[in-house]
Amino acid sequence: MGPLSTEETDRQRLLWEKQAQNSSDIEHDRLPLNLQPNQEGLLECRDRVQEEYPIYLPYTSMLSFRIVEQAHQQMLHGGVKFTMAKVRSRY
């Protein structure tokens, strides 16, 4: 009842991200992207730069499609570069 809390939406997003990772064959991406689990159990793309690592989502998942679609709308249909910059800030 009532509006959703930040905790509820974060918990649901985590569930969707895990489900997207588990429903795809990621073995062909594991080595080239150096996928490592984080403290929440999500696979991240690790590189040599010590910063926040982007969460790996398979491009074939419906969640990936919806995230790109939402970013495109948030960037006011600004084009591929703006949309992908928004998506890559987390994924």
Q: How far apart are CA 76 and CA 82, in angstroms?
A: 9
- Residue 35, H or E segment: strand 35-37
Is there a contact between 21 and 62 (Cβ–Cβ < 8 Å)? Answer: no
Locate the domains of the chain by residue range: 7-88
Residue 1: the pLDDT is 73
Write down the residue that tokens 């926040």 correspond to.
52
Residue 2: the pLDDT is 82
Which pTM was predicted?
0.84
For 37-50, write each residue's pLDDT tens digit.
Answer: 999 999 999 987 67
Structure tokens given for 53: 């690592």
Which residue, 35, 25, 90, is CA-closest to 61? 25
SS3 91: coil
Structure tokens given for 60: 């074939």
Instruction: Flag residues of the chain having pLDDT under 70.
Output: 49
